[in-house]
Structure 1
Amino acid sequence: MTETDCTSNDCPANRLPDTSRCLEHATEEEFTLFVESLHPGKVLVFQRTNIHANRLNVILETLRSESGEIHIGRAFFEHSTLHGIIKFKGVTFQGIANFRECVFTQPAHFESCTFKGNAQFSGVQFQRFTRITNNRFNKDLTFRNATCGEGVGFTGSELCGRADFSDAEILRIGKFSQIVWHSSVNFSRAKLVDCSFNSSIFAGGLTARDAEVSGKFQMQGVEVKDVINFEGSSFSDLTFMGPLAVAGTLKINDCNWTGRGRISVSAHRFDMSRTQFEDPIEIRVRNSITRAEGVRFGKPSLLTGEADIFHFATSEGARGNLSEDGLHPKKIRSHPMLVSLRSSDVTNLTIAHFDLSTCSFAETNNLDLLRLSGNPIFSQTPKRLRFRRGRRPSVWWSSRQVIDEERQWRSAQGWAGWSGADARSPSAETVSQLYRALRSSHEAAGDGPGAADFYYGEMEMRRHSRGTPRAERAVIFLYWMLSGYGLRAGRASIGFITTLLSLSLISLLFGFHGISPSYVEVTVYWASCMLSLRGGDADLTDHLTIAGETVRISLRLLGPFFIGLALLAVRNRVKR
């Protein structure tokens, strides 16, 4: 016992001024003398004290000024237990407000209060539902290790300093709505049950690393001027994250999600790498650069881009538009970008309305089961001839979709017009396997034309792969040159015309004896041989030399061959 402790039954509480007893044990006369000594702005020291609501109410009324406001200088309530319904309504704490390790046994109300100094609620225990509404915190708020057994309604407030809710436990209902957080907010390692963060503004970002979120979690109509970080957190039951507007990055990487969920976000960047989604998840992204490396989708899930601004239901039930003021000032993307699916399991994933031009598919598991819809955007081949010193000149490229891995490979090989090589540039064989998986994905969905470009890319990489036998590479080269792997009708047509004209010229010189037909007559004759079952003009046929007969047999074979390649290319482009 110290000189300031109560003398009643070894009570550890602070004694009242000019008495030997604490607030709980003071006689009525001692309590009256204490109250009479009070004035607005007085410092209150009730440490390790059992405080009952009836005496606290009398003290607060005594501190009310002529303007009707209650003013407390500094308040020290740490390690105290407050009994009864506690109401701090319209109170101005002019200095520090210290409620560390306090226990509130009945409902507590902090309404329309102003905290001009730091507000300390570390380790506090609210055993019943607590209302902290319409308050203003001018400096830091600390709720570290606090426990709200029956929930908390933290709404309509403004916080100018940092807010620390790390390791807090909201065990039933947590309403954090219509709040303006001017500085950083920390919910790391917090346990949140049935919590909602609606219609709020986080000017300094939100961190909730390794948090445990369960029950129904809502976070809609929220604007974040910095970063949201849920790294390493777990979500269970039902989760509705969004719509959110995030100027920085939304991080939900290394998380574990069980139960259905929906995420709607407009952010500069969105990272969900190494997260496990055990149940169906619907992720709607607007205007973001998205990364999804090492993600597992355990049940059918959707990752889709959104072109329109998100809407949400306000607290009044009206339809609100998510504000994106100040976000993405330079460019609004028609399709959000997905930059990586590396090492993810996409067995149950559908991707729609995304820009996949820079997406890395390397090491993606079950890529052939990925479903793509909504006209995803891929990179395109270079549009024109390019020459650059020290690099291979680019050729004339037929227009087709290409994946980022081919772009990296060609850049690493020195092809002009291709950019993107890095230290992890894949081999041609690896790129071929990725194209094969994406082709299978489109074919399984009945999208033959969509699979055509991926088939072309697969054959291109097989043609360049050192793992392909030389004989097979030679056959693939001819297939590419004559018909673009059965996908370029123009090449087959050019082959048909070139063969006809060149052999017509040769036969004009060596193919006939006894007559001298014109080049046009010879060309028409050979064309009829190629296209007709009759074999062409009988007069010219009777004057064929051995060389001419050889040309006739060759053209009778090559004509249907080139026509077949052209028809095959047309069919591959239009079939469903």
Structure 2
Amino acid sequence: MTTATREPPSSTPPSWSHCGHGATPADPVGCRGVHVGDHTACLAHLEEADRAAYLATLSPGTDIDHRGTPFTGPLLDALLSVLHDPATGHPRLGTAWFGSAIFEGSAGFGSAIFEGNAGFEEAIFEDDARFGSATFEGNARFEEAIFEDDARFGSATFESGAILASATFRGQADFQSATFKSYVWFSEATFESGAVFRSATFKRDIWFEATIFGSSAWFESTTFEGVAWFRGAIFGSSAWFESTIFEGSAGFGSAIFKSDAGFESATFKSDAEFESATFEKVLSVGPFVCAGRVTLSGAVFGGPVTLSCAARRVECRRTRWLATAEVRLRYATVDFADAVFEYPLTIAAEPDPFVLSDRQQMAEGIFNGASNATVRMASLRGVDAAHLVLADIDLSRCLFTGTVHLDQLRLEGTCCFDSIPPGTYWRRWRPVRYTHRCILAEEHHWRARQPSTVRGWNVAVFGNGHAGPAQLAPVYRALRKAFEDNKNEPGAADFYYGEMEMRRHKRTGTTRAERGLLHGYWLLSGYGLRASRALGWLAAAMLVTVVLLMGFGLPTDDPKQEAIGTVPSGGGRVTFEVDREDPRNPSGNRFTGERFEKALNVTLNSVVFRSADQGLTTSGTYIEMASRLTEPVLLALAILAVRNRVKR
């Protein structure tokens, strides 16, 4: 029995006709027990003969009213014995009012049947309260009741509402295997010692709002068939929810977990809300399964933690991680916008079902219809990515604008981005075909908004607002650097292409001349990344050069040298002047096989900056000069593009 100091009695009399026994100047109200029948005393202060006469009038199922009455152990036993039902072997009560009653000894209501309402409002149980296996067919009211010692409700059945709001349990509260068939209120209750709800069943909604669990709270294998609200609850020690089933929504918003939060193998068949919850020293949360949304927005994790779950969606908006953390997920779409962390944080996709502490794989029956366990990132806006590691995450729908230190983001495993719409499209009268590359979701949305857009661009990208080229260019630049730092040069090439595309389309901060230069760079070689485009232009330039040389650059015949000599009269020295006649423009059929071979020889030598020892007309000389300027550049661009794709 727990010895507690009872608060001084109130000077306000109760609302019923009360006994008044023992009134003193310090306590002018005296005994607050309700009158028994026509008597002016409560059951505890009745004369012995009157009490016996009253008890003789009672039978199993009788309504009783003993509000405010002080019960000793023998007095309560005497009352329950006359209510004993021989058919069941247990006490059977009708409507029972024990509000503000004081149970000085053990309150033995074990296996009792309350056929009507049971009122224990503001009752005080100074010794243990035994309601094990009791059945409450009407409402059970225990609001503001005080249990100084253990409260035993194991295997009890509550057919109607159970109201324990603001109750105080100073000893252990045992509700193991209890069944609550209607609504339950534990709001603002206080459990100073352990609270045991193992294997309990709650068939309707239950409220634990602002409840204080001063010691461990055991909810293992409990079933919540309705909504379970733990908002504002304080778990002063360990909170165990292993293998618990939440069939309705579970609300832990603003709850405080000061020690372990055990949710291993828990199943949330609807949403799990932990918004603004505080996890002070929790080492791990999960693994658990959630068929709906796990909300951790505004939550605070005070120490190193591992969060593991299989869920449809995980929201960590404005979540604060004050130490290293690892988030391991399956199936989920993750919203990490505005999350705050100053230490390394890893978000990874788990390829196989989670392994529990008993080395068995966690059951994922609610995801049987899912094709794969891909984890998708929805947003990293407002995040400082300096300490962020993403592993095997699908980033095809992720919003990056507004992310800080994106160049320090680490991507491990297979992190995939969105891609260009495949196929050929028609824009007015001309075909449009985009070359494959990795692309951000925001560019998808921006291109979909353009008046001259083609089909295939994604317009439903999680409401990314109005990010345009000016905002996307630095994002592409930062991601390119992140890939380069990870020695992924081919991946960096795609983001360089995206950066240049945004610069080419940007209207602010870019002059018309610069945009023209970028447009030419894109047109000729895809910013030095499209070898096929550069080779195509090279082939076209060579073809034009060959045609021009055949038409205008090669003379009709190779010029012949002439030697002119003068013999002075009288003999002596002979002087010869050697000259070559000017090449003559061709006439007649200029496009012959012989002329094609000569023109091709000149063109091929021009590509590699060599002269082809071929006599040319004046026009041919200028054609060769232009060829030797443009074609090596195109060849260099093609080589650069290949290099960017195979660079290690």
Length-normalised TM-score, structure 1: 0.90
Verify the 8 A CA contact 1:220 1:241 in the aligned structure 2.
yes
Structure 1 residues 447 and 145: CA distance shift in structure 2, 3 A: same
* 2:372 corresponds to 1:372: no
Q: Does 1:397 align with 2:434?
A: yes
Q: Which of 574, 591, 603 is the matching residue for 1:526?
A: 603
Change in CA separation of 1:28 and 1:148 when aligned onto 2, cut-off 3 Å: farther
Question: Which deviates further from its counterpart, 104-113 or 41-50?
Answer: 41-50
Question: 2:645 is aligned with what amino acid?
Answer: R
**Structure 1: unaligned runs, 5 residues or longer:** none
CA-CA distance at 1:401 after TM superposition: 1.0
2:10 maps to none
Which one has the largest radius of gyration?
Answer: 2
For 2:549 and 2:124, how far apart are their aligned partners in 1? 111
Aligned residue number for residue 416 of structure 1: 454
| Equivalent residue letter for 2:529 | L
Correspondence list, 1:184-203, <5 A: 184-193=227-236, 194-203=238-247
- Assess, with a 3 A threshold, how the Cα gap between structure 1 residues 322 and 6 changes in structure 2: closer, same or farther: farther
**Residue 142 (structure 2) pairs with residue 99 (structure 1):** yes
CA offsets 1:69-101 (integer angstroms, 9 cap, x no match) = 531233211111112232222111121111111
Give the match for residue 444 of structure 1.
Answer: 485
Question: Within the alignment, does 1:171 sit opposite 2:171 as a pair?
Answer: no
Q: Would you say 1:272 and 2:272 are equivalent positions?
A: no
Distance 1:99 1:252 in 2: 33
Determine whether 1:346 maps to 2:385.
Answer: yes
CA distance in 2, matches of 1:443, 1:34: 92
Q: Which residue of 2 aligns with 1:565?
A: 637
Root mean square deviation of aligned Cα: 2.8
Structure 1 residues 337 and 88, CA, compared in 2 at 3 Å: closer, same or farther? same
Once the two structures are TM-superposed, the CA of residue 466 in structure 1 deviates from its matched residue by 0.9
- Spell out, residue by residue over 1:106-125, the C-alpha distance to the aligned partner (whole angstroms, 9 max, x if none): 12221111111211111111
Q: Does 1:12 align with 2:32?
A: yes
Which has the higher mean CA deviation after the structures are superposed, 30-39 or 144-153?
Answer: 30-39
| Residue of structure 2 aligned with 1:218, choices 262, 270, 275 | 262
Q: 1:49 to 1:252 in 2, by over 3 A?
A: farther
Cross-structure match for 1:428? 469
Report if aligned partners of 1:41, 1:94 keep a CA contact under 8 Å in 2: no
Aligned equivalent of 2:285:
241
Cα distance change on mapping 1:286 and 1:21 into 2, 3 Å? farther
| Bigger Cα displacement from structure 2, 566-575 vs 97-106 | 566-575
**CA-CA distance at 1:18 after TM superposition:** 7.3
Aligned residue pairs, count: 564
Whole-angstrom CA distance in 1 between matches of 2:32 and 2:228? 35
1:175-219 deviation digits (Å, cap 9, x = unpaired): 111111111111111112221222111111111222222211121
Other-structure match for 1:494: 536
Match of 1:474 in 2: 516
1:506: how far off?
A: 0.8
The 1:442/1:21 distance shift into structure 2, 3 A limit, reads farther
- 2:527 counterpart residue number: 485
Q: State the one-letter code of the partner of 1:204.
A: G
**1:355 aligns with one of 383, 394, 404:** 394
Q: Secondary structure of the residue that 2:495 maps to in structure 1?
A: helix
- Quick check: 1:223–1:323 contact (8 Å CA) kept in 2? no
1:47-89 alpha-carbon deviations (Å, 9 max, x no partner) = 4455566765776676465445531233211111112232222
For 2:597 and 2:518, the matched residues in 1 are separated by 34
CA–CA distance in 2 between the matches of 1:239 and 1:48? 47
Aligned to 1:335: 374
Task: Name the structure 2 match of 1:460.
Answer: 501
Distance 1:7 1:402 in 2: 84
Matched-pair contact (CA < 8 Å) for 2:426–2:432: no
Say whether the 8 Å CA contact 2:153–2:174 is kept in structure 1: yes
Identify the range of structure 1 (467-476 vs 17-26) with the bigger mean alpha-carbon deviation.
17-26
Matched residue type, 1:443: E
Contact 1:90-1:113 within 8 A present in 2 as well: yes
1:381 Cα deviation after fit: 0.7
Alignment of 1:514-553 (within 5 A): 514-515=557-558, 517-531=594-608, 535-536=611-612, 538=613, 541=614, 543-553=615-625
Looking at structure 1, the residues matched to 75 and 488 of structure 2 have their Cα atoms a distance apart, in angstroms, of 77
CA distance in 2, matches of 1:59, 1:249: 52
Helix, strand or coil for the counterpart of 1:155?
coil
Code of the residue aligned with 2:203 in structure 1: it is: C
Q: Give the % identical residues.
A: 29
The answer as to whether partners of 2:303 and 2:324 remain within 8 angstroms in 1 is yes
Change (3 A) 1:42 1:328: farther
The alpha carbon displacement at 1:321 in A equals 2.1
Displacement of 1:261 in angstroms is 2.1
The aligned counterpart of 1:115 is 158
Map 1:62-211 to 2 at 5 A. Answer: 63=84, 66-68=87-89, 69-73=111-115, 74-193=117-236, 194-211=238-255
The amino acid of 2:419's aligned partner reads Q
Q: Is the 8 A contact 2:146 2:167 kept in 1?
A: yes
Aligned to 1:254: 298
TM-score of the superposed pair, with normalisation by structure 2: 0.80
Q: Distance between the aligned counterparts of 1:56 and 1:520, measured in 2?
A: 122
Alpha-carbon spacing, 1:143–1:49, altered in 2? closer, same or farther (3 Å): farther
Q: Where do 5+ consecutive residues of structure 2 fail to align?
A: 1-12, 23-29, 90-110, 559-589
Q: 2:365 is matched with which residue?
A: 324
User: Matches of 1:252 and 1:261 in 2, distance apart?
Assistant: 14
Moved more, 149-158 or 410-419: 410-419
> Could you tell me how far 1:164 is from its partner in structure 2?
0.6
* Contact persistence 2:257–2:282 (CA under 8 A): no
Q: Which residue of 1 aligns with 2:550?
A: 508
Describe the shift of the 1:293–1:445 C-alpha distance in structure 2 as closer, same or farther (beyond 3 A): same
Q: Which stretch shows the higher mean deviation, 392-401 or 430-439? A: 392-401
Any idea what SS the aligned residue of 1:496 has?
Answer: helix
Contact 2:178 2:197 in 1 (8 A): no
Q: How does 1:56-67 map to 2 (within 5 A)?
A: 63=84, 66-67=87-88
Q: Deviations over 1:410-456 (max 9, x none)?
A: 11113102231778222211111111121122222222222111111
Please say if residues 230 and 253 of structure 1, whose CA atoms lie closer than 8 Å, have aligned partners that are also in contact: yes
